[in-house]
Amino acid sequence: MMNKLSFFNKSNYAFTKEQKCKINHDLNASNITRIKLFLVSYMIFELVFILFNDIPYMMNPSFHAVWNDNRFFILHLIILFVSIIGIVLIKILGKYEECRVEKIYKLLIPILTSLLLSSMAIINGLDLAVHGNITSVFIANLIIFSAVILMRFPLNLVVYSIPFLVYIGGLVIFQHNVNSLISNGVNGLIYFLAVILISTVIYNNYYEKIAKNIILEETIFKLDYLSNHDILTGLLNRRCFSAQASEKMKILTETKKAAALILVDIDYFKDVNDKLGHPIGDIVLKETSRIFMEHIKPNDLITRWGGEEFLVFLFDTSIDEAYVIAEKIRVAIQDNVIVTDKIQIKITASFGISLLKDNFSESFDASYKSADVALYQAKEQGRNKVVIASLDM
């Protein structure tokens, strides 16, 4: 069997459940589009054959028809019904999530493929029985299906073997010339093996293409995330925070709404690192970041400003509202017990608040300095406090 993903086998890349679902989703979506095209085409062709060949012949046997046998009408009718039922089923299944109906699609597409091709193989046999010669209709359809429908090995071998055996059965039953039987059988086998090879190669290439695209998308997302976030805490880094704050200040300038800055410093964080070690200090930073994220609004911003300092941008928030938020965060940090493998610790933090107002593009630096002064005052007053900058009180 051909290697399905030799490129990724070399890197020993293991797909997650979500990635596999995404790959199957893309494969199924592509296959559904392709099989729908076949079903619609068959439906149109069969309607034409029935209306302009089969029915006129049944009404008038002297009518010059391409397929002058009532059994062709039955086969054309079967193909028409299969096409209609297939389209209806796909329409119904389309209302559900792809991963939920994945197993159904895995059965539906092979079944539809096998039914349509088997019908073509029977028509091929009838051609031989009625007209005494074999046509290339079945082989042509087999090649087209193998090139269009995405099917992995050995599933394609099973699916295409059924109509091929029907084709061989028609040859054995209706082909009385031994030389023609052997010739058509050998040629059919060569085409069949080529179909399996074509189908497998196309599926493998398409699978690999989708897999590469998924990995590329995730890699780009991860790189973008790493370029905009602090690796330890997952908060925005200073560059991204500054860029987003600048955009939000433009909105505030236009709407004349208020915003507030909160500068936060973890109390005695140096002692935590020195006495308990940097791994414990990292846990403290992560826990503190988690508490911040639980208390700010989705359109607010927060960054790890440096070391144990955090800066919060509260969008559309008054100074009084900012104080309430800061106080809730302070209490949450104070009451939180940080549990590690070796120790349980509690920490506190000091807060300085300032208001962004008037010309926001010019006041950010000034407001930050005011928040820094207020933070210093909070530390001077014994730490674990929230202080509003004097100009904003």
CATH for 238-392, options being 3.30.1150.10, 3.30.70.270, 3.40.50.720, 3.20.80.10: 3.30.70.270
Mean pLDDT of 359-373: 81
| Digit-coded pLDDT (tens) for 307-329 | 999 999 999 999 999 999 999 99
Active-site residue identified among 308, 321, 327, 362: 308
Tell me which residue of 268, 262, 248 sits closest to 347, measured CA to CA: 268
How many whole angstroms separate alpha carbon 85 and alpha carbon 39? 9
How many whole angstroms separate alpha carbon 162 and alpha carbon 87? 22
Mean pLDDT of 62-90: 85
| pLDDT number for residue 235 | 96
| Digit-coded pLDDT (tens) for 331-344 | 999 999 999 887 89
| Digit-coded pLDDT (tens) for 280-306 | 999 999 999 999 999 999 999 999 998
| Residues of the chain by 3-state class (helix, strand, coil), percent to 5 | 70, 10, 20
Sorted by where each begins, the domain ranges of the chain are 6-224, 238-392
- DSSP letter at 229? B
List, edge to edge, every strand of the sheet that includes 259-266.
301-306, 309-314, 259-266, 349-356, 386-388
Task: Establish whether 46 is a catalytic residue.
Answer: no
Mean pLDDT of 21-25: 82
H or E stretch including 386?
strand 386-388
Question: To the nearest whole percent, how much of the chain has pLDDT over 70?
Answer: 91
Q: What is the mean pLDDT of the chain?
A: 88
Residue 103 has pLDDT above 90, yes or no: no
